[in-house]
Each structure stands twice: as structure tokens, then as C-alpha cells.
């Protein structure tokens, strides 16, 4: 993990938040490469689960919502973690994480550590809307994107007339006042979710749940290429289920600090729609167009953390040779740059100009880096370290026959490709 943290900062994937002021604990900023990586993950997810499907209706809802939403959803009363305090040093930890308690007790070696009784700690961040002190309204920053989709269920039904089963999806930021944030970007106070509320007939929920298990597994293993041996499904025990769920399973990844949740799949029943209907006084039912039957659909919810995905693909892609050379074997579809263009030498204007032309043509269709500093070996190493799949070099031969070398990151193998065919060559590789 230390190597990833150091590479991430050195190369501009992830910087500590508010860095020039000494940081703010457990906040992180994504740099030029990290921002591209996140965007590529979100685009690929959108293409996979929204754009190419006929049953998905995307929304983009507010971070701030009427507080009644969070009362109806149960978050005001139940979105809590059990908090205990160490009686020696007052450190606050989660009572439901025995491994973290054990780790903390080791820091007081030789002493008998006792803890306060667990207290429920609500994880929603509160803020206020309005300017006059006495009339300001309390509001919460949303702790999940899901409620934005439930409260728009009726709007989507009216505007889109979808037929069951169908999903409402969104990608967006959420905020949680975590008791023990940490492990780099694994558990942070703000993060993005890619979430789907999939509405089904009650009797179909189990089949839908099993179907989503396959689709989520395919996404992380086949589409993002993460090693299956480092992933597993784990079903929640009854006492760890969220207040809204009757069945939840997580995909866990073997992080350097142990197995931890990557994604979640929850059966939320009709909990959310029923509660919002009751508290808002609005009918949130579906009318079957064929039978005219009216009922509240049940919900299966696949949810994916964006930054956890980024952390997992970085950890999975990281390789280091005996000589200390780092190659980030990212899937080309999500690599920050698809290619890098180099002029072999920087003091020969015809070569530099030709390379600039190649760069300008390519960057219209995909993200391309430019590098004209140092020797070619160093430039290859620099691109390998950030996961650029192909390096294109314009050399003396280019001036004669209009071909360039294309070097493959993972094999080091080089071929010559005509400049006019470069775009098609890269697009074909990306489609593989
Ligand atoms: N709507 C359901 C829901 O929010 P969750 O399991 O609490 O479920 C969904 O969160 C996903 O968000 C997780 O599977 C994980 O990928 C990510 N996630 C949760 N807490 C996080 C945190 N503190 N920092 C980064 N990612 C987090």
C-alpha cells in the first residue's frame, strides 16, 4: 500500500487533501492522472450498466434533500455505527470491527484496556440552509445516492413510462462522518457511488439478485480484469444487515490490510418506496399496463464505490521488477492515457513537427501524452509507471516512409505502423 500511496502522489494520481496547509486527515484530491482514471471508470460503468441497456433510467439528483427524506428512509434513526471509546487514550473506534479493536489494544501493550459501552453514532453530516441565524433549516449531506432515486420514482414513471423490471441509476458524491476512516482512499469521508435501484415484482427478487451477482462479478473480473483469486462474495450476517435490507452480499477484495468490502448488493424489499409513500402522502405504486394490477415494486440494489474501484485496479495493476522498475498493467480501457507520443530527438525540427502532427491527430479521439524529455528508455519507463499501454516514437525512418514505432507496455514488443493507420490501430486494440 505504501508503494501505491507514494506512486500515486509522485505521479499525480492522488494527493493528500489541502496539502499546502498540512492536509486534512483522510481527505484526498485526485490529480491529473487520478481524475482521468476515475472518469474512465465512471464512463465504462455508464456504458456497461446504462447506455447499452434498454431497462435503465439515469438521474442526477441533489446532494441536499429535504430532511424528511432521511427521516422516512430511516437514516436519521438508524444510519449509525456503534462507537466505543478507549478509556486509556480516548480513541474512538467501531465496536463492530474486532480487528481494529485488537490492533488498538496492541498499542497499549502491557496495560489492561477497557472500553466504554457502545453508543450509536449517526454518520450523516449536518449543515444548515438559509442566511438568518434563527430561521436556518437543518439539512444533511446525502450519505447514499439511493434516496435521490427513490424520491424520483414517480417522476420517472410519469416521464418515461418504463415497464418492470427496470432500474434507476446514478453516479454521484456522498458524505459520511466515518468513525474510523483510513487505509488511504479505502474509507474516506466523501466518496462517489455508482448505484442502481432495480425495481422488480416481489416474486422475482431472488432471481434478479442472482442475476446481478453475475453482472457485478463480470464487471470487476472480465471488464476491469481484476484477478478472481483476490475477490470473493460474503453474505452479511443477520446482525450486520443495514436497517433497510433483508439480504445483502458484498464483493470483497483482498487489500494489503486484509479482506474488505469493494461492492454491495442489497435486497431492499419495498422498504424505501413504502416509507416515502407513507411519509409524503404520495402514491408510489406501479400499475401493470397489461393487468392493471397496482403494487409497490421491490428493489435489488447493486452499488459500486468509484474510489474503491480505482484503489483496487491500482493495487491489481502494480508490478515491480527486481530492478525496481514499476509497470502499472492497467486495462487500456481505463488507463489515464491510451498512448504517448515521442519525437526520438528534440533537436531535429522535422521529427518534432511530425511527432506533433501525430499527437494532434490522435488526441482528438483518445487521451494521449506527449514527452520529449530525456532518452527514450526513460520515457518508456515513465509511461510504464502510469500504465500507458502504447508508446509511439517518431524517428528518422518516419521522415522516409511515414511509419512510426508502436511499443507495447506489457511485452516491450515494437512494431511499425503507418501514421495514417495509427488511430484505427489503437481503436482496434481498445476494442479487444
Ligand atoms: N445505497 C447503499 C449503500 O450506500 P454501502 O455499502 O454503504 O451501500 C456502497 O456503500 C459502496 O460505497 C460500498 O460498496 C463501497 O464501494 C463504497 N463506500 C462505502 N463507504 C465508503 C467510504 N467511507 N469511503 C469510500 N468508499 C465507500
Residue 374: the pLDDT is: 87
The torsion region of residue 47 among left (phi > 0), alpha (psi -120 to 50) and beta comes to alpha
Low-confidence ranges of the chain (pLDDT < 70): none
Q: How far is the CA of 25 from the centre of ligand 1 (A)?
A: 19
Written as one string, the DSSP assignment of 314-377 is: HHHHEEE-TT--EEE---TTT-S-SEEEEES-SS-HHHHHHHHHHHHHHTTTS-EEE--SS-HH
Residue 286: the pLDDT is: 97
Residue 81 confidence (pLDDT): 87
Q: Is the CB of 332 under 6 A from ligand 1?
A: no
Q: What is the distance in A from the centroid of ligand 1 to the CA of 31?
A: 22
Q: Distance between CA 94 and CA 85 in Å, rounded?
A: 9
Distance of CA 26 to the CA centre of its chain: 17
Cβ of 296 below 6 Å from ligand 1: no
Give CA 174 to chain center in angstroms: 12
178 CB within 6 A, ligand 1: yes
Ligand 1 centroid–CA 80 distance in Å is 14
Q: Are 171 and 45 in contact (CB under 8 A)?
A: yes
SS3 content of the chain, % helix, strand, coil (to 5): 40, 30, 35
- Smallest CA-to-CA distance from 387 within 261, 225, 197 is with 225
Is 42 in contact with 171 (CB distance < 8 Å)? yes
Q: Check if 169 has its Cβ closer than 6 Å to any atom of ligand 1.
A: no
Q: What pLDDT is attached to residue 293?
A: 95
Q: How far is the CA of 50 from the centre of ligand 1 (A)?
A: 20
CA of 183 to the centre of ligand 1 (A): 14
Q: Exposed, middle or buried: residue 8 (CB in 10 Å: 0-12, 13-18, 19+)?
A: buried
Q: Is the CB of 252 under 6 A from ligand 1?
A: no
Element containing residue 103 per DSSP (H, E): helix 98-106
CA-nearest residue, atom 16 of ligand 1? 305
* pLDDT tens profile 295-354: 999 999 999 999 999 999 999 999 999 999 999 999 999 999 999 999 999 999 999 999
- What is the pTM (predicted TM-score) of this model? 0.94
Q: Ligand 1 atom 25: the closest Cα is on which residue?
A: 187
Residue found by looking up cell 518534432 in the block: 352
Q: Which of 1, 7, 67, 70 is nearest to 37 (CA)?
A: 7
Omega before 165 within 30 of 0, i.e. cis: yes
Amino acid at each position: 500500500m505504501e508503494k501505491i500511496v507514494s506512486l500515486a502522489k509522485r505521479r499525480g494520481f492522488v494527493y493528500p487533501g489541502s496539502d499546502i496547509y498540512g492536509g486534512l486527515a483522510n481527505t484526498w484530491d485526485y490529480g491529473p492522472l487520478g481524475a482521468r482514471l476515475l472518469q474512465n471508470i465512471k464512463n465504462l460503468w455508464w456504458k456497461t450498466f446504462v447506455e447499452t441497456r434498454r431497462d435503465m433510467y439515469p438521474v442526477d439528483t441533489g446532494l441536499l434533500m429535504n430532511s424528511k427524506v432521511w427521516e422516512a428512509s430511516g437514516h436519521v434513526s438508524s444510519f449509525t455505527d456503534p462507537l466505543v471509546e478507549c478509556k486509556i487514550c480516548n480513541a474512538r473506534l467501531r465496536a463492530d470491527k474486532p480487528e481494529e479493536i485488537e490492533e488498538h489494544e496492541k498499542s497499549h501493550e502491557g496495560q489492561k484496556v477497557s472500553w466504554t459501552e457502545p453508543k450509536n453514532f449517526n454518520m450523516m453530516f449536518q449543515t444548515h440552509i438559509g442566511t438568518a441565524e434563527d430561521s436556518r433549516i437543518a439539512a444533511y449531506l446525502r450519505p447514499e445516492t439511493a434516496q435521490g432515486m427513490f424520491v424520483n420514482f414517480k417522476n420517472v414513471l410519469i416521464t418515461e413510462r418504463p415497464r418492470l423490471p427496470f432500474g434507476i441509476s446514478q453516479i454521484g458524491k456522498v458524505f459520511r462522518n466515518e468513525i474510523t476512516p483510513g487505509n488511504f482512499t479505502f474509507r474516506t469521508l466523501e466518496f462517489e457511488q455508482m448505484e442502481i435501484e432495480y425495481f422488480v415484482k416481489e416474486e422475482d427478487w431472488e432471481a434478479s439478485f442472482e442475476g446481478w451477482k453475475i453482472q457485478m462479478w463480470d464487471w470487476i473480473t472480465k471488464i476491469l480484469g481484476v484477478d478472481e483469486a483476490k475477490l470473493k462474495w460474503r453474505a452479511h450476517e443477520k446482525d450486520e444487515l443495514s436497517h433497510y435490507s433483508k439480504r445483502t452480499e458484498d464483493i470483497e477484495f483482498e487489500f494489503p490490510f486484509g479482506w474488505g468490502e469493494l461492492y454491495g448488493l442489497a435486497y431492499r424489499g419495498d422498504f424505501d418506496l413504502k416509507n416515502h409513500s407513507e411519509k409524503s402522502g404520495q402514491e408510489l405504486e406501479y400499475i401493470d399496463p397489461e393487468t392493471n394490477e397496482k403494487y409497490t415494486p421491490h428493489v435489488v440494489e447493486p452499488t459500486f464505490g468509484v474510489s474503491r474501484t480505482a484503489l483496487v485496479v491500482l493495487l491489481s495493476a502494480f508490478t515491480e521488477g527486481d530492478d525496481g522498475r514499476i509497470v502499472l498493467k492497467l486495462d487500456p480501457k481505463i488507463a489515464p492515457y491510451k498512448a504517448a507520443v515521442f519525437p526520438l530527438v528534440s533537436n531535429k525540427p522535422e521529427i518534432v513537427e511530425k511527432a506533433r502532427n501525430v499527437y494532434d491527430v490522435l488526441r482528438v479521439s483518445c487521451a494521449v501524452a506527449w514527452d520529449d524529455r530525456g532518452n527514450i528508455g526513460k520515457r518508456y519507463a515513465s509511461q510504464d509507471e502510469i500504465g500507458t499501454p502504447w508508446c509511439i516514437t517518431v524517428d528518422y525512418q518516419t521522415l522516409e516512409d511515414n511509419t512510426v514505432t508502436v511499443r507495447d507496455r506489457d511485452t516491450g514488443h515494437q512494431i511499425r505502423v503507418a501514421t495514417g493507420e495509427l488511430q484505427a490501430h489503437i481503436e482496434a486494440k481498445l476494442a479487444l
